[in-house]
Amino acid sequence: MDVQNHLVEGEFYHLYGRALAKNGKLFYQARNYDSFLKNFSKYLGDYLDIWSYCLMPDHFHFLVRVKLKVDTTITDRWHEFANYFSELINKQENRCGNLFQKGPQFLRIENKSHLLTMVKYINYNPVFHGLVDNPSDWRHSSHTKSINDRLKHVEINKLMTIFDQTTAFSNFQYHQQEFESIQYCLAE
């Protein structure tokens, strides 16, 4: 977390991070994605509401809203979560060391337009990286969960209030040129 960018209670942030090794992985098996999301919520759910997410093989994106303004606690909880998840993967893959490049980045969402662009970008990420042709084809994102499931760890119903209706979300149009305003996260 950027210490110059203190979190503000009630504000939205783009939280993202990546694997430590270049071309490294965070997720080796399908169950790792579910474990990551479940444990992320377990460790950080008292401090952050997840509004949107996408878990990629080597990185992740979340749109979160801060519940409690306690920067040091969020940082401590992140480290506990990262250590726990690294231990799970290390045991599973017979490896050692940290999985994550550094602490996650928290970048404040400035306005509703930025918020909508970020939701689009997070959900479009698997297409952007060439893993699928359509965001709904990627199982490890809130886009798929928004349409098909009710995830208890994700504020899907609140996210839907940003859009006119659920079908508007599933018919969301993605235009890569829209993402020019968020260049900071495109070079992952």
For the stretch 6-22, pLDDT in tens is 888 899 999 999 999 87
In angstroms, rounded to a whole number, what is the distance separating the alpha carbons of residues 70 and 44? 11
Domains of the chain: 12-185 (3.30.70.1290)
Q: Which two tokens stand for residue 1?
A: 């977390």
Q: Which two tokens stand for residue 67?
A: 């519940």
- Residue 128: what pLDDT? 85
- Residue 185: what pLDDT? 54
What residues pair up with 19 in beta bridges, in sequence order? Answer: 100
Q: Measured between alpha carbons, how far apart are the two ends of the chain, in Å?
A: 17
Q: Name the DSSP letter for residue 72.
A: H
| Phi then psi dihedrals of residue 23, to 5 deg | 60, 20
Whether pTM > 0.85 for this model: the answer is no
The predicted model gives 124-132 an average pLDDT of: 90
Place of tokens 């079908």: 167
Instruction: State whether the Cα torsion 174-177-182-186 is positive or negative.
Output: positive
- Residue 165: what pLDDT? 43
